Amino acid sequence: MFKQTLTCAVLMALSGCSEPTNTVTQEEVKVSMKQVNTIVYPETKKGEVVDTYFEESVTDPYRWLEDDMSGETADWVKAQNNLTFSYLEQIPYRDKLKQRLEKLMNYEKIGAPFTEGDYTYFYKNDGLQNQYVLYRSKEGGNVEVFLDPNKFSDDGTTSMSGLSFSKDGSLLAYQISEGGSDWRKIIVIDAHTKEQVEEALVDVKFSGIEWLGNEGFYYSSYDKPKGSELSAKTDQHKAYYHKLGTAQSADSVVFGETDEQKHRYVGADVTHDGRYLLISASTSTSGNKLFIKDLTKQNSEFVTVVGNTDSDTSVIDNEGSKLFLVTNLNAPNKKVVTVDASNPSPENWVDLIPETKNVLNLTKGGDTFFANYMVDAISQVKQHNKKGELIREITLPGVGTARGFGGKKDQTTLYYSFTNYKTPGTTYAFDVTTGESGVYRKSAIDFNSDDYTSEQVFYTSKDGTKIPMVITYKTGIKLDGSNPTILYGYGGFNISLTPSFSPVNAVWLEQGGVYAVANIRGGGEYGKDWHNAGTKLQKQNVFDDFIAAAEYLKDKKYTSKKRLALRGGSNGGLLVGAVMTQRPDLFQVALPAVGVLDMLRYHTFTAGAGWAYDYGTSEQSKEMFEYIKGYSPLHNVKAGVEYPATMITTGDHDDRVVPSHSFKFAAELQAKQTGNNPTLIRIETNAGHGAGTPTNKTIEQYADIFGFTLYNMGVESL
DSSP class of residue 76 equals H
φ/ψ (deg, to 5) at 609? -60, -20
CB 209, CB 581: distance < 8 Å: no
The dihedrals phi and psi of 685, each to the nearest 5 degrees, come to -90, 145
Strand order in the sheet with 401-404: 401-404, 413-419, 426-431, 437-441
Are the CB atoms for 561 and 487 separated by under 8 Å? no
DSSP class of residue 250?
Answer: G
Residues in the chain: 718
Pick the catalytic residue: 570, 632, 660, 662? 570
Q: Taking the chain, what is the end-to-end CA distance rounded to the nearest angstrom?
A: 14
Strands (E), 611-693: 645-651, 679-684
Helix (H, G, I), strand (E, B) or coil at 552: helix
Query: 680 burial class (0-12, 13-18, 19+ CB within 10 angstroms)?
Result: buried
List the one residue out of 81, 91, 88, 139 whose CA is nearest residue 115: 139
Report the helix count and the strand count for the chain, using DSSP H and E. Answer: 11, 41
How far from chain centre, in Å, is Cα 702? 17
Question: Mapping DSSP to helix (H, G, I), strand (E, B) and coil, where does residue 600 land?
Answer: coil
* Phi-psi region at 33: left, alpha or beta (left = phi > 0; alpha = psi -120 to 50): beta
Q: Given 237, 384, 603, 689, which residue is catalytic?
A: 689
Which one-letter amino acid corresponds to residue 595? G
242 neighbors 77 (Cβ within 8 angstroms): no
Classify strands 201-205 and 183-190 as parallel, antiparallel or unpaired: antiparallel
Integer Cα distance of 586 and 549 in angstroms: 11
Q: Count the neighbouring beta carbons within 10 Å of the beta carbon of residue 167.
A: 17
The verdict on whether 570 is a catalytic residue reads: yes
- In degrees and rounded to multiples of 5, residue 507 shows phi and psi of -65, -40
d(CA 578, CA 680): 17
Bridge partners (DSSP) of residue 204 are: 184
The span from the CA of 319 to the CA of 568, in Å, is: 43
- Give the residue among 537, 677, 718 at the shortest CA–CA distance from 617: 537
Q: Give the whole-angstrom CA distance, residue 196 versus residue 200.
A: 9
Rounded Cα distance, 455 and 472, in Å:
6
**Cα-Cα-Cα-Cα dihedral sign, residues 244, 245, 248, 254:** negative
Residues near 136 by beta carbon (within 8 Å), at least 6 away in sequence: 119, 120, 121, 122, 143, 144, 146
Rounded to an integer, what distance in angstroms lies between the CA atom of residue 566 and that of residue 53? 32
In degrees, to the nearest 5, what angle opens at C-alpha 592 toward C-alphas 452 and 535?
95
Which residues are CB-neighbours of 276 under 8 A, at least 6 positions away?
270, 292, 293, 294, 295, 315, 318, 323, 341
As annotated, the active-site residues are: 570, 689
